[in-house]
Structure 1
Amino acid sequence: MSAQVNRFNDIIRKLRKQLFGKGPDRLETVFMQNMAVTTLYGNLTPTEKFISGTNEGKEMIHTARTRLIQEVYAKSPPEGLEEVVGAKFVYLFSDIKVEEDIAVSVFVFDRPIV
Structure 2
Amino acid sequence: MSKKVHEFNDIIRKLRKDLFGKGPDRIRTVFTENMAISTLYGNLTPTERFIASTAEGLKMVHTARTSMIQDLYSKAAPEGMEELMGTKLLHLFTDIKIEEDFAISVFIFEDKISE
Q: Which residue of 1 aligns with 2:112?
A: 112
Aligned partners of 1:69 and 1:51: how far apart in 2?
A: 19
Deviations 1:36-88 (A, max 9, x none): 00000000000001111111111000001100000000000101001111110
Q: Which runs of 5+ in 1 are unaligned?
A: none
Aligned partners of 1:105 and 1:95: how far apart in 2?
A: 7
Paired residues in the alignment total 114
Aligned partners of 1:37 and 1:83: how far apart in 2?
A: 18
Aligned partners of 2:55 and 2:84: how far apart in 1?
A: 39
Task: Indicate yes or no: 2:70 matched with 1:77.
Answer: no
Amino acid at match of 2:74: A
Q: CA deviation at 1:26?
A: 0.2
Q: Which residue of 2 aligns with 1:23?
A: 23
Q: CA deviation at 1:14?
A: 0.1
Alignment of 1:37-52 (within 5 A): 37-52=37-52
RMSD (CA atoms): 0.4
Q: CA deviation at 1:111?
A: 0.7
Q: Which runs of 5+ in 2 are unaligned?
A: none
Q: What TM-score do you get using the length of structure 2 for normalisation?
A: 0.98
Q: CA deviation at 1:23?
A: 0.2
Q: CA deviation at 1:8?
A: 0.1
Amino acid at match of 2:35: M
Aligned-pair identity (%): 64
Alignment of 1:60-75 (within 5 A): 60-75=60-75
